[in-house]
Amino acid sequence: MDIFDCIDSRRAIKNFDPNHKITEAEKHQLFTAAMKSPTAFNIQNWRFVTVEDPTLRLKIREAAWDQAQVTDASLLIVLCADLKAWEKEPLRYWSNASQEAQDFILPAIDNYYRGKESVQRDEAMRSCGIAAQTLMLAAQGLGYDSCPMDGFDFDAVGTLINLPEDHVVTMFVAIGKQTQPPWPRPNQLPLNEVVIENHF
């Protein structure tokens, strides 16, 4: 599917076929695409928790205000981020780069993040947001539908998935086959209201 067709046809789907199974090859393709999403300094701080256990899905659905997408989607991904990815062997993110690049980048990573918790969290949210959009467009290209979700109890979900202390849950992405079309697009603001040239 053409990328602009994917963008145009992607919608937040609420009703999924609970009997449809996504293949391992399709999962691999989706996550391979998602891992090409950009992150600052290439720290790849996203972590994709796929919830396969039906009992766990039910518990997460309870924490998500009983939203059916949680249990009915073919693939439920809890997007998390490692807030401390920047300091965990950062050389591995640049192991294929030249020595000159490593000598410049590694101190820059440390300088950018160390002691700046809000920067670490902001970058986690940016990175996962970009990865989520990549996942949803890749899913659309494979003939799947998707739904980004943030309507849930973040702390409860973190407990259910044994979230490490230095990680945060950022959002869900549910992927599957829709059983009901979405409502018509409610309204898009005019371009001249949201595209600003040079300054407000």
Q: What is the pLDDT of residues 74-129, one digit of tens each?
A: 999 999 999 999 999 999 999 999 999 999 999 999 999 999 999 999 999 999 99
Quick: pLDDT tens for 26-58: 999 999 999 999 999 999 999 999 999 999 999
Model pLDDT, residue 1: 84
In a domain, 199, yes or no: no
Q: What percent of the chain clears pLDDT 90, i.e. is strictly above it?
A: 100
Average pLDDT, the chain: 97
User: Is 99 domain-assigned?
Assistant: yes
Distance of CA 10 to the CA centre of its chain: 15
Number of domains in the chain: 1
Q: Residue 172 sits in which domain range? A: 3-194
In whole angstroms, what separates CA 49 from the centre of its chain? 10
158 within a domain of the structure (yes/no): yes
Q: Whole-angstrom Cα distance, residue 147 to residue 132?
A: 10
Residue 71: per-residue pLDDT: 98
Cα–Cα distance for residue pair 45/81, rounded to 1 Å: 5
Question: CATH number of the domain that 111 lies in?
Answer: 3.40.109.10
With a CB cutoff of 8 Å and minimum separation 6, the contacts of 127 are 37, 39, 40, 45, 46, 81
Residues 173-200: what's their mean pLDDT?
95
